Chain A
Amino acid sequence: MPGESGVQADRYHGFLFNPADLSEEVDLDLPRRREILYFVGSMDRWTHWQVLALPWNASVDQVKDAYRERAKVFHPDRFPGLRLGSYRSRLERIFRRLTEARDALSEESARAEYARRTAPPEEVARSAARQIENDARSKERRARMARTNPLVSRVARVRELMDRGRQAMAEERFADAARDFMTASAMDATATEARTLAEQARRKASSGRARELWEKARAAELQHDLDRAQLHAEAAAEAEPGEARYAVYVARLAIERGALETARSRAEGAVRTAPTLATAHEALGEVLALQGEIAAARKSLERALELDEGLAGARERLRKLRWSFLR
């Protein structure tokens, strides 16, 4: 059968058959001999999949079926009463190799692990591509969800606001940040972070605003427009009530304008808010002195000097008071 042997030669392309093996006196036809010799000669470098003539990553059930099919072909019992010569031990070795492959692949976790290890390169590339594709797809899916699902869209909106607020914070646009955080906190009552951030932003925003107003007040003062200066300074003190220096500034402007009542209430307020602020005590002392409450004025001025020895104005005023007292 020359035709058939031609086909066979193609199938075993590159495999060298030992002529002595092919011509041994045994009861096996030539194709069968070739098949056995080819298997024995290749099985050590074959993967378990190849041994069982299965595609890579075949299932446990496929493995079992293939093992049975192959065992029926190669098991020595399938050649009863035939002279097998050296082929008998070859058949047994093939069977052992089949069993080895079956044993290695018949338990799912071991099979999967082996599949990972033996994945062909194009399969590795394909799975990497699939991974990237999956990522893109999941992003798109999330966006679509955000558009259509009210709950999801709300969560997404809150996240967006928080992100924008943080961005504004970083850029010191505190008012914008405060607005975003406030909105976020209103949309999601459970978001405590939004609430704290909103509080922080608001504080920073008002201190910025207060500073702006203070600068305007200073500018007006330098232009001797004391009324306008007073207006801006009042606004600054309103904007940041915690900052006593603005109140002190208001008090001083009021003294200069002779509005002693206003000055006194502002100075007292400043001392209450910041008991350790020397300039607050100084301003109060000055108002009190001007109002003729000498003892109280001295006490305030002494306290101011205790806190800051370098207050020349206070020292001078105190000296004058002493002097007048002695007199």
Chain B
Amino acid sequence: MSENEPFIGIDLGTTNSVVATVIDGVPRVIASRTGQTLTPSIVAVARNGKRLVGHMAKRQAITNAENTAYAVKRFIGRRWGAPEVEDARKVLPYELVPGPEGVDIRAMLGGRAFAIPEVSALVLAELKADAESFFGRRVTKAVITVPAYFNDGQRKATKDAGRIAGLEVVRIINEPTSAALAYGFGKQMEKKVVVFDLGGGTFDVSVLDVGKSVYDVIAVGGDTYLGGEDFDRRIIDWLVFSFAQEHQAIDLRQDKMALQRLRDAAERAKIELSEGRQSAIHLPFLASGPEGKAALHLDRQLTREKLEDLTQDLVDRAIGVTDRTLRDAGVRTGQIGEVLLVGGMTRMPRVQQAVKAFFGREPSRGVHPEEVVALGAAIQAHALLHPQKGKEVLLLDVTPQNLGIMVVGGYFATIIPRNTTVPTSQSHLFTTVQDNQTTVRIAVLQGASDKAVENELLGEFVLEGIRPAHRGEVEIEVTFDISADGIVGVSARDSATGTRQSITVTATSGLTEAEMRRILEENLDELLTRRQVGDFERLRDRTQAVIAEIEALSPAVKDALARSRFGKDAVIRAEEVVARARAATEARDLQQMIAVEEQLDRALQLFKGLAAGTPPGEKGA
């Protein structure tokens, strides 16, 4: 193996990162040059302008809080202005600013704006340097892990971070899959495995079917904003709140240094409570007293019960996601052969109890839940770079979120559903919306919402040169393609003319929020609609039936109204709706028919009520 180029697997965590490799067929963690296996994912710029990473950065964080970036993984590949980002910003001692395009997020450190991948790259470079000192030679090839639930943009940004750090990222793999790989290494596993990964910033759950050294992921789920940081935050909020009660509304969050001290204390208390029943939080001289009075101290006892109370809903959320993911996988808890706990937060007794109660079995955990992910990454790197006969492992991963395009009405049409094994490719037929439409705009999206705007925009392109024809006559086949490397390719083809356009979806950061809005609002008529054979006929029949029913009720309603002063304008509105429904049916305008369908139903209900002698607004009178 020594003649081969060295390779590493990196778990780039929210709070801590780990680097590992495989030596003589055995995966092992590479300790840092100072002898630690965990490197805090913290980057700071010291007063003298020096960049500090890891333990060095963590040590000086209290005195240099505003220039110390931690947990940047929560912002990687995210957009400026996203609600989660706004929420997290409130308790960050360091400042976040929008990038020059106003899209991505930058961290202000030592007066310079760092792109998030840049910050992550500093951590990766540190790990790379550790590995190089371990091997005594240059290391370039790496597998980096990300939460399974990361979308394409977040994965891409992570890959970019690797490139900035001078690494050739052989593959981005999912943390839970990686953990399963490390756990199953050297064992003859033949069962379904659930990985419950509650880390520093993200929660991931994966269901795998393992056998013959093939790690076949059936389903993944997760929450990219649920992790140890959120547990800490609950403790911080509790401390801040009780301190404010005690000392006439002093908001400790206004003081960066106090906030950093609270953060450290909260994390320490949380860790202590995994073993002990209570933890003393003692922070002397935390804030200066009002108007020259003596400085204020914070002294609190946090019990395990109180912590569990403060964080119960977070645990419940994780179990809820687990339940959904199992249902996605079509697997019952009884069929699970192994439940694997990964991530530092799974050391919390309450989390373990909840997992045990949910699965009805004792969960397993490696010796070091913080290291297992990096070990798996190293094993995968090994498999991808130096396959050996007989010992091969093969990872079959899935797409974590639906991939699709935007269709008329601002809706999202899924083309590759989540939990599809990659590599994969799938196509769907769409049709034009307008008569003589010669171009279509394909907006490629990823996410779980039905509404396009609530999903992540991965990119867009235009298919031109469509043969002029009536709307709905031109068929356009849109094909999505995901390669083994996870690269998404999209192509659109006019089946009649054979005209073809395609893009390889790359980073999302090139697109501004304004561009997003522009795509969503303008050029609506350049979009596609789903092929809806027979839908028109069905809807027309239904619409006409409802109109007929309304008209049949009409005399009775007029009768009722002659005796009542209620509901006259409602009836006028109902008649308008009927007229609109008729017009839409005549124009064969499916979109308009769908739009008016519900109002028509309401009008019918109204007429039924009036005919039965219950004027609107007079119910029960």
Interface residues of A, Cβ cutoff 8 Å to B: 64-65, 68-69, 71-72, 75-78, 80-81, 92, 95-96, 99
Contacts of A65 in B (CB 8 A): 211-212
Asked whether, in the complex, the Cβ of A72 is within 8 Å of the Cβ of B483, the reply is no
Residue of A nearest to B420 (CB): A99
Contacts of A69 in B (CB 8 A): 212
Q: Which are the 3 A-B pairs with shortest beta-carbon distances?
A: A68-B214, A68-B212, A76-B484
Per the 8 Å Cβ criterion, residues 198-245 of B in contact with A are: 209, 211-214, 216
Contacts of B423 in A (CB 8 A): 76, 92, 95-96
Contacts of A96 in B (CB 8 A): 423-425
Contacts of B396 in A (CB 8 A): 71, 75
Tell me if B383 is interfacial: C-beta within 8 Å of chain A: yes
* A165 to B395 alpha-carbon distance, docked (Å): 75
Contacts of B383 in A (CB 8 A): 77, 80
Contact with A along B556-595 (1 / 0, CB 8 A): 0000000000000000000000000000000000000000
* A182 to B362 alpha-carbon distance, docked (Å): 71
What distance in Å separates the Cβ of A11 from its nearest Cβ neighbour in chain B?
23
From DSSP, what is the main secondary structure of chain A's interface residues? helix
Some 7 contacts from A to B, beta carbons below 8 A apart, are: A64-B209, A65-B211, A68-B394, A75-B394, A81-B385, A92-B423, A96-B425
Question: Which of A64, A68, A72, A77 is in CB contact (< 8 Å) with B384?
Answer: A77
Asked whether, in the complex, the Cβ of B212 is within 8 Å of the Cβ of A77, the reply is no
* A308 to B209 alpha-carbon distance, docked (Å): 98
Interface-central residue, B211, B392, B395, B421, by most chain A CB under 10 Å = B421
Contact with A along B475-496 (1 / 0, CB 8 A): 0000000011000000000000
* A99 to B217 alpha-carbon distance, docked (Å): 12
* A69 to B211 alpha-carbon distance, docked (Å): 10
What distance in Å separates the Cβ of B383 from its nearest Cβ neighbour in chain A?
7
Question: Which of A64, A72, A75 is in CB contact (< 8 Å) with B484?
Answer: A75
What distance in Å separates the Cβ of B269 from its nearest Cβ neighbour in chain A?
44
Asked whether, in the complex, the Cβ of B209 is within 8 Å of the Cβ of A77, the reply is no
Given contacts A68-B216, A92-B483, contact A80 B384 (CB under 8 A): yes
* A76 to B425 alpha-carbon distance, docked (Å): 15
Tell me if B387 is interfacial: C-beta within 8 Å of chain A: yes
Contacts of B421 in A (CB 8 A): 99
Asked whether, in the complex, the Cβ of B214 is within 8 Å of the Cβ of A72, the reply is yes
Residue of B nearest to A72 (CB): B394
* A78 to B423 alpha-carbon distance, docked (Å): 13
Residue of A nearest to B426 (CB): A96
What distance in Å separates the Cβ of A287 from its nearest Cβ neighbour in chain B?
81
Interface-central residue, B212, B384, B483, by most chain A CB under 10 Å = B212
Residue of A nearest to B481 (CB): A92
Contact with A along B390-402 (1 / 0, CB 8 A): 0010111000000
Contacts of B392 in A (CB 8 A): 72, 78
How many chain B residues have a CB neighbour from A under 8 Å? 21
Contacts of A78 in B (CB 8 A): 387, 392, 394
Residue of A nearest to B424 (CB): A96
Question: Which of A68, A80, A99 is in CB contact (< 8 Å) with B387?
Answer: A80
What distance in Å separates the Cβ of A92 from its nearest Cβ neighbour in chain B?
5
Contact with A along B59-79 (1 / 0, CB 8 A): 000000000000000000000
Asked whether, in the complex, the Cβ of A71 is within 8 Å of the Cβ of B387, the reply is no
Contacts of A76 in B (CB 8 A): 423, 483-484
What distance in Å separates the Cβ of A270 from its nearest Cβ neighbour in chain B?
71
Given contacts A92-B423, A96-B423, contact A77 B484 (CB under 8 A): yes
Asked whether, in the complex, the Cβ of B425 is within 8 Å of the Cβ of A72, the reply is no
Asked whether, in the complex, the Cβ of B483 is within 8 Å of the Cβ of A64, the reply is no
What distance in Å separates the Cβ of A73 from its nearest Cβ neighbour in chain B?
10
Asked whether, in the complex, the Cβ of B216 is within 8 Å of the Cβ of A77, the reply is no
Known: A64-B211, A71-B396. 16 other contacts (CB 8 A): A65-B211, A68-B214, A68-B216, A68-B394, A69-B212, A72-B213, A72-B392, A75-B396, A76-B483, A77-B394, A78-B392, A80-B385, A80-B387, A81-B385, A96-B424, A99-B421
* A95 to B395 alpha-carbon distance, docked (Å): 13
Asked whether, in the complex, the Cβ of B424 is within 8 Å of the Cβ of A99, the reply is yes
Per the 8 Å Cβ criterion, residues 310-359 of B in contact with A are: none
* A80 to B385 alpha-carbon distance, docked (Å): 6
What distance in Å separates the Cβ of B480 from its nearest Cβ neighbour in chain A?
12
Per the 8 Å Cβ criterion, residues 344-389 of B in contact with A are: 383-387
Residue of A nearest to B214 (CB): A68
Contacts of A68 in B (CB 8 A): 211-212, 214, 216, 394
What distance in Å separates the Cβ of B370 from its nearest Cβ neighbour in chain A?
27
Contacts of A99 in B (CB 8 A): 421, 424
Contacts of A71 in B (CB 8 A): 214, 394, 396
What distance in Å separates the Cβ of A91 from its nearest Cβ neighbour in chain B?
9
What distance in Å separates the Cβ of A228 from its nearest Cβ neighbour in chain B?
87
Residue of B nearest to A69 (CB): B212
Contacts of A72 in B (CB 8 A): 212-214, 392, 394
Residue of A nearest to B423 (CB): A92
What distance in Å separates the Cβ of B584 from its nearest Cβ neighbour in chain A?
40
* A64 to B190 alpha-carbon distance, docked (Å): 11
What distance in Å separates the Cβ of A64 from its nearest Cβ neighbour in chain B?
7
What distance in Å separates the Cβ of A9 from its nearest Cβ neighbour in chain B?
27
* A65 to B209 alpha-carbon distance, docked (Å): 11
Contacts of A64 in B (CB 8 A): 209, 211
What distance in Å separates the Cβ of B203 from its nearest Cβ neighbour in chain A?
27
Contacts of B424 in A (CB 8 A): 96, 99
Contacts of A77 in B (CB 8 A): 383-384, 394-395, 484
What distance in Å separates the Cβ of B331 from its nearest Cβ neighbour in chain A?
12
Residue of A nearest to B210 (CB): A68
Contacts of B395 in A (CB 8 A): 77
What distance in Å separates the Cβ of B385 from its nearest Cβ neighbour in chain A?
6
What distance in Å separates the Cβ of A61 from its nearest Cβ neighbour in chain B?
10
* A55 to B218 alpha-carbon distance, docked (Å): 25
What distance in Å separates the Cβ of A99 from its nearest Cβ neighbour in chain B?
5
Asked whether, in the complex, the Cβ of A92 is within 8 Å of the Cβ of B484, the reply is yes
Contacts of A75 in B (CB 8 A): 394, 396, 484
What distance in Å separates the Cβ of B340 from its nearest Cβ neighbour in chain A?
20
What distance in Å separates the Cβ of B369 from its nearest Cβ neighbour in chain A?
27
* A72 to B387 alpha-carbon distance, docked (Å): 11
Contacts of B214 in A (CB 8 A): 68, 71-72
What distance in Å separates the Cβ of B261 from its nearest Cβ neighbour in chain A?
47
* A164 to B20 alpha-carbon distance, docked (Å): 89
Contacts of B484 in A (CB 8 A): 75-77, 92, 95
Contacts of A92 in B (CB 8 A): 423, 483-484
* A65 to B211 alpha-carbon distance, docked (Å): 8
What distance in Å separates the Cβ of A313 from its nearest Cβ neighbour in chain B?
78
* A65 to B216 alpha-carbon distance, docked (Å): 12
* A75 to B387 alpha-carbon distance, docked (Å): 13
What distance in Å separates the Cβ of B397 from its nearest Cβ neighbour in chain A?
10
What distance in Å separates the Cβ of B217 from its nearest Cβ neighbour in chain A?
12
* A69 to B394 alpha-carbon distance, docked (Å): 10
* A80 to B384 alpha-carbon distance, docked (Å): 5
* A279 to B607 alpha-carbon distance, docked (Å): 78
* A136 to B41 alpha-carbon distance, docked (Å): 77
Contacts of B212 in A (CB 8 A): 65, 68-69, 72
* A69 to B387 alpha-carbon distance, docked (Å): 16
* A68 to B394 alpha-carbon distance, docked (Å): 9
* A92 to B421 alpha-carbon distance, docked (Å): 12
Contacts of A80 in B (CB 8 A): 383-387
Per the 8 Å Cβ criterion, residues 409-425 of B in contact with A are: 421, 423-425
* A198 to B211 alpha-carbon distance, docked (Å): 71
* A99 to B212 alpha-carbon distance, docked (Å): 16
Residue of A nearest to B482 (CB): A92
* A75 to B485 alpha-carbon distance, docked (Å): 12
What distance in Å separates the Cβ of A82 from its nearest Cβ neighbour in chain B?
10
What distance in Å separates the Cβ of A80 from its nearest Cβ neighbour in chain B?
5
What distance in Å separates the Cβ of A244 from its nearest Cβ neighbour in chain B?
68
Per the 8 Å Cβ criterion, residues 291-325 of B in contact with A are: none
* A81 to B395 alpha-carbon distance, docked (Å): 17
Per the 8 Å Cβ criterion, residues 57-101 of B in contact with A are: none
* A81 to B171 alpha-carbon distance, docked (Å): 13
